[in-house]
Structure 1
Amino acid sequence: MPTRDSDSETADALQDPALLRRLLRAKDRMDASSHEDWPVRRLAEVSGVSEAHFARSFKRAFGIPPHRYLLTRRIEQAVTLLRDTELAITDIAFVTGWESLGSFGRIFRDITGHSPRAMRVLARADVSSLDRVPACVLKAAQRPDLTIAVLEKRRRGAKGTVRPSSTEEVT
């Protein structure tokens, strides 16, 4: 259970302008190159802090871990490409940073609730009704909900049929 001292340290760390600038630098790099591999080690190097400090600080500052943030960006980009281009789904998977079509399709469905093909149909059907909505508002409204891990979403969707890993605590 956190103590008042650790809560105070957390608040102080999030008010450190230098740390926030460093975290934003890493976030901007992920936004600009979401198709690239961004392990915590690389992000920590960009930020000039240790890996553990980066991971903790990023989650505190932005509400989700770096990996989930990157998944959010990749899914947003994939939805945009599905809606606005004629690229094959395989090409979209590779352009947005996945190494295999299978993992792209599985994670895409876990996060959005639709297959990439179904999302393409849905996104294109909604285009005419959304012409007058600013792109920034549209992106925010369509942002995938990744407040919980993808594996946890999958487990909840399967209604307990997926067994917890050996490292997870069973409650």
Structure 2
Amino acid sequence: MGCGTISQVSSKADATQRLADLARLRRVRDRIDREYAKPLDVEALARGAHMSAGHLSREFRLAYGESPYSYLMTRRIERAMALLRRGDLSVTDVCFAVGCSSLGTFSTRFTELVGVPPSVYRRQAAQATAGIPSCVAKQVTRPVRNREARATEPQLA
């Protein structure tokens, strides 16, 4: 019985490492989903995954198509949309409830993802989702990352 070549051994080691990284990335994503309202930054997420911040960012983007920070902000905006649809909290209260510490950053990111400022969304959503079960309203109004690209694309004549 022969031993595998060095390239076969190293490719098995690479595959094993890739699976371990993917498992860590899933745990990071799950942590963001659970703890989106807590202060989270890439460095803290990376420490929890036993990776460097740069490696986590690169691998997370490869696996999920966006950076950990972008994923976190999308989760926060999704939750903010649900809170704004309820209509009983101010935009400022919603901003802090979802873990954002800057109303300006929250409003800018919200507008980029949703297409309208949070105050406008709050008014429109109350009317648009009246009578719709919250689980359906959540699916229908979920922010889509590629909405960002539509906002200001130059048109060629």
Query: Same fold judged by TM-score > 0.5?
Result: yes
Given that 2:87 and 2:122 are in contact with CA atoms closer than 8 Å, whether structure 1 keeps it comes out as no
Q: TM-score, normalised by structure 2?
A: 0.74
Distance 1:105 1:22 in 2: 31
Q: How does 1:1-171 map onto structure 2 within 5 Å? A: 12=15, 16=19, 18-128=20-130, 130-131=132-133, 135=135, 138-147=137-146, 157=152
Given that 2:36 and 2:76 are in contact with CA atoms closer than 8 Å, whether structure 1 keeps it comes out as yes
Q: 1:99 to 1:13 in 2, by over 3 A?
A: farther
Distance 2:73 2:132 in 1: 24
Deviation sequence 1:9-56 (CA, Å, 0-9, x none): xx947961x322211111111111212232221111111222222111
Distance 1:14 1:67 in 2: 24
**Structure 1 gap segments, 5+ residues each:** 1-7, 160-171
Cα offset, 1:70, TM superposition: 0.7
Given that 1:25 and 1:46 are in contact with CA atoms closer than 8 Å, whether structure 2 keeps it comes out as no
**Structure 2 gap segments, 5+ residues each:** 1-10
In the comparison of the two structures, how many residue pairs are matched? 144
Letter in 2 for 1:81: L
Cα offset, 1:76, TM superposition: 0.4
Task: Say what the alpha-carbon RMSD is for the aligned residues.
Answer: 3.1
Q: TM-score, normalised by structure 1?
A: 0.69
